[in-house]
């Protein structure tokens, strides 16, 4: 990708992200008090949020990674979800917390929920740093939402455009040059 082809508008700062994660962690700590959870990082986009979130939790946490791909190199969903890496251990009887970067159409999350429910966890809930309520195409519940945003394409803090820009410490809105 040629850096001349886009600009990035600063949108959510590092400080705002940090404060929001502290709030989400407080809620999760209260809701799961006394329980162990299996936190599932949905790769690739969630790895930065996941790392910050699990370090804010005061619960015993096991970490698992689930690789998924639904977007080619475009900014609109293909609607097709593929598992590229499966969990490393069983989740039967465990309290599962899916950690998602962003819920857009909801198709990926709906797929993950079905995929994991089949393994009979004790409970299953979801934390998403971002959600685009106007883009939802399926009915999915997200218990812990960081920021509800408009229908815009965002990058940074783990989120990519064509595999670039994941390392930005803040969240920006991507503007592609016509």
Contact residues for ligand IMP, defined by CB under 6 A:
45, 70-71, 77, 100-109, 153-155, 159
**Nearest distance from residue 81's CB to ligand IMP, in Å?**
7
Least distance (Å) between residue 61 CB and ligand IMP: 21
Long-range pairs of 150-155 with CB within 8 A, sequence gap ≥ 24: 153/75, 154/11, 154/102, 154/130, 155/8
* Residues forming beta bridges with residue 7, ordered by sequence position: 175
User: DSSP per residue over 108-176, as a string?
Assistant: HHHHHHHHHHTT--SEEEEEEEEE-GGG--S----SEEEEE--S--EEBTTB-BTTB-TT-SSEEEEEE
Active site residue 31: no
CB of 47 to ligand IMP, least distance (A): 11
For ligand IMP, the closer of residues 45 and 146 by Cβ is: 45
54/102 with CB nearer ligand IMP: 102
Q: By C-beta, is 37 or 128 nearer to ligand IMP?
A: 128
Question: What is the binding site for Mg ion (CB under 5 A)?
Answer: 42, 45, 101
């Amino acid at each position: 990708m040629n850096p001349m082809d886009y600009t990035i508008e600063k949108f959510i700062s590092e400080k705002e992200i940090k404060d929001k994660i502290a709030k989400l962690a407080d809620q999760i700590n209260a809701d799961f008090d006394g329980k162990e959870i299996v936190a599932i990082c949905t790769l690739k986009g969630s790895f930065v949020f996941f790392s910050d979130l699990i370090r804010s939790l005061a619960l015993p946490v096991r970490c698992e990674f689930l690789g998924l791909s639904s977007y080619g190199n475009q900014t609109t969903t293909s609607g097709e979800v593929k598992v590229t890496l499966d969990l490393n251990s069983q989740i039967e009887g465990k309290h599962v917390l899916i950690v998602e970067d962003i819920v857009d159409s909801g198709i990926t999350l709906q797929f993950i929920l079905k995929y994991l429910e089949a393994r009979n966890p004790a409970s299953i809930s979801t934390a998403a740093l971002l959600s685009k309520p106007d883009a939802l195409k399926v009915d999915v519940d997200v218990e812990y939402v960081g920021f509800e945003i408009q229908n815009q394409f965002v990058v940074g803090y783990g989120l990519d455009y064509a595999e670039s820009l994941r390392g930005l410490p803040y969240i920006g809105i991507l503007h592609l040059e016509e």
